[in-house]
Amino acid sequence: MDFTIRPADSSDVAGILAADLEAGRTSSADAERFAAGISAAVADPARLVVVAEAHDDANAEGGSGVVGWAKTHFWDYPDGLALAGHYLGGVTVRPDFRRRGLAAELTAVRLGWIWEQAEEAWYVVNARNAASLALHRRWGFREVARGAGFHTVTFDGGEGVLLMAARPRD
C-alpha cells in the first residue's frame, strides 16, 4: 500500500473527523465542534493541516481516503516559558494503519513547513506519552519546561512537557 501526505483542504474535514472518531480521540458528542475547529485550521494561512491518504494498488479507484492527519498551531503571544511561535499539534493515525511510519512522515512534513516560517518549532505533550517523546527526538526536540499546561493545552491527571527544536542548518 502506498501513502500520500498532502495539505488538507475543506473537502478533507469529514475524513479527518472519521479518522479521529475511529482512533477514539474525538467522541460523537464532540464531532460538530471538532469539525468546526478543523475547518478553521484548514482555512488559516498561519497553520498547516496535513492528511495521509492510503492508495491500494488493488483498488481501481486508487484510494482508501484519509487514514491519518496532523496540524500545527501558531501562538502570537507567549505563555510563560511557552514562547510565541509555531507549534506541532497532535497526530492521529487510524488504528489499522499504525506502525507504518505515517506519524513520522506527518511530523516531517509539518516541521519542514514550520522551518520555512521560523527558526524554531515547539511542541507540548503529556509527560507519560513515551511514544510521542521518542518520535520527536529524531528532530532534536529538547525539553524546555514541565507544567500543568501551556497555552490552551492542559494535562488532566498528568504533567505536560514543553519542547523546542531549532531549524537544522544546511
The alpha carbon dihedral of 34, 116, 131, 163 has a sign of negative
The domain ranges of the chain are 2-119
Q: Are 75 and 49 in contact (CB under 8 A)?
A: no
Q: Which helix (H) or strand (E) holds 14?
A: helix 13-22
Q: For residue 133, what pLDDT is reported?
A: 93
Q: Please tell me the predicted confidence (pLDDT) of residue 59.
A: 46
CATH number 3.10.105.10 is the correct assignment for the domain at 2-119? no
Q: pLDDT grade, residue 55 (50/70/90)?
A: confident
- Mean pLDDT across 58-72: 73
DSSP string, 125-138: EETT-HHHHHHHHT
Among 3, 69, 77, which Cα is nearest to 38's?
A: 69
Is this structure's pTM higher than 0.85?
A: yes
Confidence of residue 1 (pLDDT cuts 50, 70, 90): low
Where are the strands (E) in 57-166, listed by range?
Answer: 65-75, 85-93, 120-126, 142-147, 149-150, 153-154, 160-166
Amino acid 5: pLDDT: 95
